[in-house]
């Protein structure tokens, strides 16, 4: 299970670097005689590196519109400009685009020509962070693998916008204006391969409905969530990293075994209103509970297995795997109780 999770995360976070490096290696030995051809095709506002002819760098140029994109381009960098519209005309020849970075522009939904994005059939990565979008743009390319829409003004997710995005592995919607009403039971329908969902820094008061079952990382920091529904995580049995920092969770808002979930390896509940440590699973490796209202810690009570049973099995049994425990910012006085160390034998760091 752990090996499978690690493999998935490597695919999610390292594929960009590996892919780009591979393409660079292919073109490092390009015949210099071809450089003039690539230069002549290059828009005058942009930079076309001869050693990486599939990339077009138009970032930080003060552009107000997208220049014509040559047919050979796979990677398009347009971040940090003043672009307000995405029209079809610049992309007429750009049928091989895999990656578009349009972060930090002034793009609105009305500025996106109807259907222009969905016509980019080979697009895998679309970055539209730090713009002025008020809803998730639609329709989107069906082959998309990453969609980053952080720091916009999004308060609406059109019905069915994700229904055909079966290849999407990352969806980043953090720091927008989403309310609970924007996340319906079918909002994420179709995202069968989603691995990371980031809805942090919105205005949610409830846990979102119908998270895709394959989700590994769920980020819900900086909302106003008060309650974890009973058996909520049974619908997302692969969730490994769960962040709920800076919410309004109290002891009464967490079911008895709400976080006693074998798949969760990293649980972050910092800056909430908890007065005690909730029951955890023996598989948990990192637990963040700093800046709550916890006054004392009883290792015997919070130990996910019987300490007596643990003594019998020693290091060859199902001993708790907790390695990192953060408890600072509470009302706990040192020293660390001995029964904590007896239970969690693999602890490498305790912050108190």
pLDDT in tens, 112-121: 999 999 999 9
Separation of alpha carbons 304 and 301, rounded Å: 8
How many Cα atoms within 13 Å fall on the side-chain side of residue 334? 6
- Write the DSSP symbol of residue 206: S
Helix (H) or strand (E) holding 21: helix 2-27
Per the prediction, the chain carries an average pLDDT of 89
pLDDT for the residue 9:
52
Question: Strand, coil or helix: what is 342?
Answer: helix
Q: Give 54's contacts (C-beta < 8 A, 6+ positions apart).
A: 23, 27, 72, 73, 74, 75
Q: Within a 10 A sphere around the Cβ of 322, how many other Cβ atoms?
A: 25
Question: Strand, coil or helix: what is 54?
Answer: coil
pLDDT for the residue 334:
82
pLDDT for the residue 32:
45
CA-CA-CA-CA torsion for 113, 119, 125, 128, nearest 10 degrees?
0
Give me the residue label for tokens 């490994």.
240
Separation of alpha carbons 150 and 172, rounded Å: 6
Q: Within a 10 A sphere around the Cβ of 235, how many other Cβ atoms?
A: 14
Q: Within a 10 A sphere around the Cβ of 308, how many other Cβ atoms?
A: 8
Helix (H) or strand (E) holding 3: helix 2-27
Buried b (16+ CB within 10 A) or exposed e, 82-108: ebbbbeeebbeebebbbbbbbbbbebb
Task: Enumerate the β-bridge partners of residue 130.
Answer: none
Backbone angles phi, psi at 2, to 5 degrees: -65, -40
pLDDT for the residue 258:
96
pLDDT tens sequence for the chain (352 residues): 444 445 555 555 544 444 444 434 434 444 444 544 455 689 999 999 999 999 999 999 999 999 999 999 999 999 999 999 999 999 999 999 999 999 999 999 999 999 999 999 999 999 999 999 999 999 999 999 999 999 999 999 999 999 999 999 999 999 999 999 999 999 999 999 999 999 999 999 999 999 999 999 999 999 999 999 999 999 999 999 999 999 999 999 999 999 999 999 999 999 999 999 999 999 999 999 999 999 999 888 899 987 655 555 454 457 999 999 999 999 998 888 889 999 999 999 999 8
Nearest Cα to 120, choosing from 102, 136, 97, 138? Answer: 97
pLDDT for the residue 19:
44
In the chain, DSSP assigns E strands to 55-57, 75-77, 99-101, 125-127, 146-148, 170-172, 196-198, 217-219, 241-243, 266-268, 286-288, 324-326, 349-351
pLDDT for the residue 21:
44
């Amino acid at each position: 299970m752990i090996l499978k999770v690690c493999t998935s995360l490597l695919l999610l976070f390292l594929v960009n670097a590996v892919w780009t490096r591979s393409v660079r290696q292919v073109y490092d030995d390009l015949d210099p005689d071809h450089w003039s051809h690539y230069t002549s095709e290059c828009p005058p506002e942009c930079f076309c590196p001869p050693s990486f002819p599939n990339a077009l760098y138009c970032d930080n140029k003060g552009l107000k519109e997208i220049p014509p994109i040559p047919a050979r381009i796979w990677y398009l960098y347009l971040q940090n400009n003043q672009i307000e519209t995405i029209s079809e005309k610049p992309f007429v020849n750009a049928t091989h685009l895999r990656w578009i970075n349009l972060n930090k522009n002034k793009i609105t939904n009305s500025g996106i020509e109807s259907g222009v994005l969905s016509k980019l059939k080979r697009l895998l990565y679309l970055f539209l962070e730090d713009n002025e979008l008020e809803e998730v743009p639609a329709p989107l390319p069906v082959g998309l693998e990453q969609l980053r829409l952080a720091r916009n003004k999004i308060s609406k997710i059109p019905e069915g916008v994700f229904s055909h995005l079966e290849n999407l592995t990352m969806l980043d919607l953090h720091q927008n204006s989403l309310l609970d009403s924007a996340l319906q039971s079918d909002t994420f329908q179709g995202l069968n391969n989603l691995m990371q969902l980031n809805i942090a820094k919105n205005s949610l008061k409830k846990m979102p409905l119908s998270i895709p079952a394959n989700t590994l990382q769920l980020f819900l920091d900086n909302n106003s969530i008060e309650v974890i529904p009973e058996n909520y995580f049974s619908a997302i049995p692969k969730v490994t990293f769960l962040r709920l920092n800076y919410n309004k969770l109290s002891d009464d808002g967490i079911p008895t075994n709400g976080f006693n979930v074998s798949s969760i390896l990293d649980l972050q509940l910092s800056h909430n209103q908890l007065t005690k440590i909730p029951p955890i699973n023996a598989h948990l490796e990192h637990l963040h509970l700093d800046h709550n209202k916890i006054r004392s810690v009883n290792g015997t009570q919070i130990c996910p297995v019987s300490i007596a049973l643990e003594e019998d099995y020693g290091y060859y049994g199902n001993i708790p795997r907790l390695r990192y425990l953060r408890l600072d910012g509470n009302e706990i006085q040192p020293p660390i109780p001995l029964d904590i160390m007896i239970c969690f034998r693999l602890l490498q760091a305790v912050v108190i």
